[in-house]
Amino acid sequence: MAQVRKRLGATDGKIRMPDGSEHYIFGFVDITGVPDDRIFDFRGKAQLLSPLIEAYQGDEVFLTLTNLGMPGRPDLDDGHTIHWHGFPNQIPVWDGVPEASMSVPVARDLTYYYRPLDPGTYMYHCHFEPVEHIQMGMVGPLIVRPELEKRPQYARRRFAYNYAWTEFDREFLVFLTELDSTAHRMVEEAQPYDWTEYRPDYFLINGRAYPDTVRREHESELPFQPYSARINAYRGERVLLRFVNLGFQQHSVQVPGISLTVIARDAQVLRGTAGEDLIFERDTVYIAPGETLDALFTAPVPGTYPLYCRNLHRITNAGAPMGGMITEVVVRPRPLGCPPVREGENE
Partner 1 sequence: MRTINLWVKDGYLSTPDGNSIYFWGFAASPDAPAQVPGPHLVVNQGEDVTVNLVNQTGAEPVSIFFNGQRGVRTEAGPVRPQYDAQGRLVSFVDHAEPGGGTISYSFRAERPGTYLYESGTNPHKQILMGLYGVLVVRPLDFDRSVPGLKTAYGAGSGTEFDREYVLVTGEIDPVLNAAAERGQPYRISKFRPRYWTLNGRCAPDTMLGDSLPHLPHQPYGAMVMAQPGERVLIRLAGAGIDNHPLHPHGNYSRVVAIDGSLLRNGVGDRSYHKFTVLLGAGQTCDLIFRWTGLGYTPANPVPVPLPNRRNMGVGDLGFTMWSGSPYLGVKGDIPVGVVSFNEMGEYNFMLHAHEEQKITNWGEFPGGLMTMIAIYPSLPPEAGSLS
Where do contacts with partner 1 occur on this chain (CB under 8 A)?
Answer: 60, 62, 79, 83, 85-86, 88-93, 95, 97-105, 108-113, 115, 127-132, 134-135, 193-198, 248-250, 265-268, 270, 272-274, 276, 278, 288-291
DSSP letter string over 26-64?
A: EEEEE-TT--GGGGGGGTT--BSSPPPEEEETT-EEEEE
CA distances from 124 to 1, 54, 175 (A): 22, 11, 12
Q: Kindly state the smallest distance separating residue 35's Cβ from Cu ion, in Å.
A: 32
Coil, strand or helix: which one is 133? Answer: helix
Contact of residue 98 among partner 1, Cu ion, none (CB under 5-8 Å per partner type): partner 1
Contact between 85 and Cu ion (CB under 5 A)?
A: yes
Q: Output the smallest distance, CB 267 to partner 1, in A.
A: 7
The reply on whether position 6 binds Cu ion by CB under 5 A is no
Q: Is the omega angle on the peptide bond into residue 322 within 30 degrees of 0, that is, cis?
A: yes
Residue 221 interacting entry, from partner 1, Cu ion, none, C-beta within 5 to 8 Å by type: none
Point out which span in 77-85, 192-200, 203-211, 281-289 binds Cu ion (CB under 5 A). 77-85
Provide the minimum distance between the beta carbon of 142 and Cu ion in the complex, in angstroms, as a whole number. 11
Q: Which stretch binds Cu ion (CB under 5 A): 34-42, 81-89, 172-180, 322-330?
A: 81-89
Distance from C-alpha of 92 to C-alpha of 102, rounded to nearest angstrom: 9
Distance, CA of 328 to CA of 308 (rounded, Å): 8
Phi, psi of 323 (to 5 degrees): -155, -150
Q: Near Cu ion by CB under 5 A, which window of 78-86, 180-188, 217-225, 339-347?
A: 78-86
Return d(Cα 129, Cα 109) in angstroms, integer.
18
Residue 89 interacting entry, from partner 1, Cu ion, none, C-beta within 5 to 8 Å by type: partner 1
> What is the C-alpha to C-alpha distance for residues 276 and 163, in angstroms, rounded to an integer?
13
Query: Of 135, 114, 113, whose CA–CA distance to 125 is shortest?
Result: 135
Nearest CB to Cu ion, comparing residues 69 and 86: 86
Measured from the CB atom, the residue of 83 and 235 that comes closer to partner 1 is 83
8 A C-beta contact, residue 5 and residue 13: no
In angstroms, give the least distance from the CB of 336 to partner 1.
Answer: 44
Please state the closest distance from residue 6 (CB atom) to Cu ion, in A.
19
Q: What is the end-to-end Cα distance of the chain in Å, rounded?
A: 40
CA dihedral 177, 80, 52, 264 (to 10 degrees): -60
Q: Are 302 and 333 in contact (CB under 8 A)?
A: yes
Q: Which does 26 bind (CB under 5 to 8 A by kind): partner 1, Cu ion, none?
A: none
Closest-CA residue to 23 (of 59, 48, 50): 48
Min separation Cβ 9 and Cu ion, Å:
21
Query: In this complex, which beta carbon is closest to partner 1, that of residue 48 or of residue 258?
Result: 48
CA-based radius of gyration for the chain: 20
**Cβ closest to partner 1, residue 278 vs residue 318:** 278
- Shortest gap between Cβ of 31 and Cu ion (angstroms)? 23
195 touches, from Cu ion, partner 1, none (C-beta below 5 to 8 Å by class): partner 1
Least distance between partner 1 and beta carbon 72 (Å):
21
Residues of the shown chain interacting with Cu ion in the complex, contacts defined by CB under 5 A? 85
